[in-house]
Amino acid sequence: MRISRAAELAGVPTHVLRHWEDELLLRPERRAGNQRDYTRDQVDQAVIIRRLRLAGVGIPTLRQLLAAPAAERGAILAAVAERLEREATQAHSAAQFLRHTMSCSHAVIEECPQCRRYAQDGPGER
């Protein structure tokens, strides 16, 4: 399928698919006139790449995953999953703190036990 249709199905602009091709994340076949020809599997791969990029997975990590032998992918995936879980925990903790501060009646953080606890906790420890 043409790049415009592949981009539509993947939920990204066409220039993103071209960029991912430049970064060796996608490798569509070429038709006459050097036009890209995407398969359904490549569109599915583009959707996965888009979702992982939205989750903060970098292009070098994605390139490493695609190039790694199947036996090594598990360790890479585990490291990425652990990082995402750690970041999600930190983001959740920050969101809880912000929700608390919206209704906190204390003028200074030191006066509020919940604010104090958040300030003393390390990242992701709540």
Look at residue 75 and tell me if it is in a domain. no
- In this prediction, residue 36 carries a pLDDT of 95
Host domain of residue 50: 1-67
How large is the C-alpha radius of gyration of the chain? 21
Q: Is residue 74 part of a domain?
A: no
What pLDDT, on the 0 to 100 scale, is given for residue 122? 60
Name the amino acid, one letter, at 64: Q
pLDDT of residue 64: 93
Q: pTM here? A: 0.73
Q: The domain spanning residue 42 has which CATH number? A: 1.10.1660.10
In a domain, 62, yes or no: yes
In order along its 126 residues, the chain shows pLDDT tens digits of: 999 999 999 999 999 999 999 999 999 999 999 999 999 999 999 999 999 999 889 999 999 998 999 999 999 999 999 999 999 999 998 898 888 888 888 776 777 888 877 777 765 444
φ/ψ region of 13 (left if φ > 0, alpha if ψ in -120 to 50, else beta) reads beta
pLDDT of residue 60: 95
Number of H helices, E strands in the chain: 6, 2
Same domain, 87 and 62: no
Here the tokens at position 6 are: 């592949």
Q: Are residues 58 and 112 in the same domain?
A: no
DSSP code per residue over 75-123: HHHHHHHHHHHHHHHHHHHHHHHHHHHHH---SSGGG-HHHHHHHHSPT
Give pLDDT, residue 124.
46
